[in-house]
Amino acid sequence: MHWIDPACLPETRGKVTQFLLNPHGELDGLVLNTAGSTLQVHFPPHMTKQVMKHISVGNAIRVHGVKPRDANVIAAVSLTSAQGAELVDEGPQHHGPKAPKPEGKPMDVQGEVTLSLYGPKGELRGALLDDGTSLRMPPHAAAELVDYLSPGACVQAWGNGVKNKYGRTIDVHDIAKLVDAA
């Protein structure tokens, strides 16, 4: 959203509790604890290096962004670190050929959904489990699986996953509700 002036957008403040990865292992969001709620902040993967350099879990940050209707997410236009570094979405920089994206490895996980995950326009895209794993899927699949991706649902998911020091994510191929989960 490089064409939007961040100064004209509402500001949200909070503490970073975890980063979110896309299926290629790049950062594309974070979970922010604000006064009284937990919120997903989405930013584009081309901001990964900036975010890794200036923001850590536990930091208090400020976010200027757009909040879609009916979705607990802010599409960030800028993030301001605890030290005052302003990270603005200037759009992707195209410098030569892109590096190859890592291929996910087969994974399966189970747990309780703590947060539904959305894309920048508010489309349901997955869920965050209680162990910190993010489940990702295309919007058309997520739209049919709302009950599986809502907080409180206990699920098991299979797919190709990526894990690094910032988190773990699975590009979900199959998902099931855990019937005997308490």
Question: Do 70 and 113 fall into the same domain?
Answer: no
CATH number at residue 160: 2.40.50.140
Tell me whether residue 132 is in a domain.
yes
pTM reported for the whole predicted model:
0.92
- The residues, any chain, with a CB within 8 Å of residue 99's CB and separated by 6 or more, are none
Confidence of residue 18 (pLDDT cuts 50, 70, 90): very high
Number of domains in the chain: 2
Is 90 exceeded by the pLDDT of residue 15?
A: yes
Question: Do 14 and 80 fall into the same domain?
Answer: yes
Domain that holds residue 136: 105-177
Question: Do 115 and 58 fall into the same domain?
Answer: no
Tell me whether residue 182 is in a domain.
no
Q: Looking at residue 92, what is its pLDDT?
A: 84
pLDDT tens digits for range 74-104:
999 999 999 999 999 988 876 556 666 667 8
Question: Do 116 and 58 fall into the same domain?
Answer: no
Tell me whether residue 63 is in a domain.
yes
- The residues, any chain, with a CB within 8 Å of residue 42's CB and separated by 6 or more, are 28, 29, 73, 74, 75, 76, 118, 119, 120
Question: Do 83 and 110 fall into the same domain?
Answer: no
- Decide which of 88, 114, 144 is a domain's last residue: 88
Confidence of residue 124 (pLDDT cuts 50, 70, 90): very high
Tell me whether residue 100 is in a domain.
no
CA torsion 121-29-2-5 (nearest 10°) is 90
pLDDT tens digits for range 40-77:
999 999 999 999 999 999 999 999 999 999 899 999 99
Distance separating alpha carbons of residues 69 and 51, to the nearest angstrom? 26
Question: Do 115 and 165 fall into the same domain?
Answer: yes
Is 80 exceeded by the pLDDT of residue 1?
A: no
Tell me whether residue 45 is in a domain.
yes
Question: Do 123 and 151 fall into the same domain?
Answer: yes
Question: Do 110 and 167 fall into the same domain?
Answer: yes
- Nearest to 129, CA basis, from 174, 179, 167, 76: 167
Q: Looking at residue 95, what is its pLDDT?
A: 58
CATH number at residue 24: 2.40.50.1010
pLDDT tens digits for range 135-165:
999 999 999 999 999 999 999 999 999 999 9
- Decide which of 28, 61, 88 is a domain's last residue: 88
Question: Do 16 and 63 fall into the same domain?
Answer: yes
**How deeply is 40 buried, as exposed, middle or buried, from its count of CB atoms within 10 A (0-12, 13-18, 19+)?**
buried
Question: Do 72 and 133 fall into the same domain?
Answer: no
Question: Do 71 and 17 fall into the same domain?
Answer: yes
- Decide which of 28, 60, 88 is a domain's last residue: 88
Strands (E), the chain: 11-21, 27-34, 37-42, 60-66, 73-80, 86-88, 105-118, 124-129, 133-136, 154-164, 167-177
Q: Looking at residue 170, what is its pLDDT?
A: 97
Question: Do 76 and 16 fall into the same domain?
Answer: yes
